[in-house]
Amino acid sequence: MPLQINTQQGQIGINTHNANIDINTQKGQLNLKQNPAKMNIDGEPVQVIIDQYQCFAEAGLKNNTDLSAEMVAIAKRAVLEGIQRRCEEGDRCAMIGNNMPDAIPEIAENSMMEEKEFGAVTMPKSRPKIDVKGGIKIYWELGGVEAEYVPYKINVDYTPGKVDIYMEKWPEISINYIDEKI
């Protein structure tokens, strides 16, 4: 009995699609607003005041009030010195009885001799008074920066991967009976 057996193997077909991801984004927006600093200057004209009165007064250039006060002081000192000298001379004359030399010629001789002192001095001895009025004042108002950041959205597009499996050829078995006639 002759049998004929034919087989055909099955064949699988595979289609793949890769996964895909697309990301789109843009830079965010940064908004800056700057407030400038402000400077205010207040000022008045500068005045330099120099008072040299004391320097001139030391050189003898005084106003009437100070000059009369100085003359009064000199006169008072001269009167007091004169009174003191006369008292000393009177005491000296009172001692004539104590076997002292003659007082009157001695007093007369001392009155004739006047001692003077001389010296070198720099003028003026004091410094002038210097005062400054006025000037400027600077006031600052600080500015600043205001920043605002606006982020953009990110767009993500995802396509998942895919695998398709299918049968290209189905397996087969065919069995045939061959009739042989002899």
Whether residue 93 lies inside any domain: the answer is yes
Whether residue 33 lies inside any domain: the answer is no
Q: How many domains does the chain have?
A: 1
pLDDT in tens, 100-155: 677 777 778 777 777 788 887 777 788 889 999 988 899 989 888 899 988 888 88
Whether residue 88 lies inside any domain: the answer is yes
Whether residue 94 lies inside any domain: the answer is yes
- CA 154 → CA 21, 29, 30, 69, 148, distances in Å? 13, 14, 17, 98, 19
Whether residue 130 lies inside any domain: the answer is no
The domain containing residue 95 runs over which residues? 57-123
State residue 182's pLDDT score.
Answer: 62
pLDDT in tens, 64-87: 998 999 999 999 999 999 999 889
State residue 154's pLDDT score.
Answer: 87
How high does pLDDT run on average in the chain? 86
Q: Which residues are CB-contacts of 37 (< 8 A; sequence separation ≥ 6)? A: 140, 141, 142, 143
State residue 73's pLDDT score.
Answer: 94
Whether residue 46 lies inside any domain: the answer is no
Whether residue 99 lies inside any domain: the answer is yes
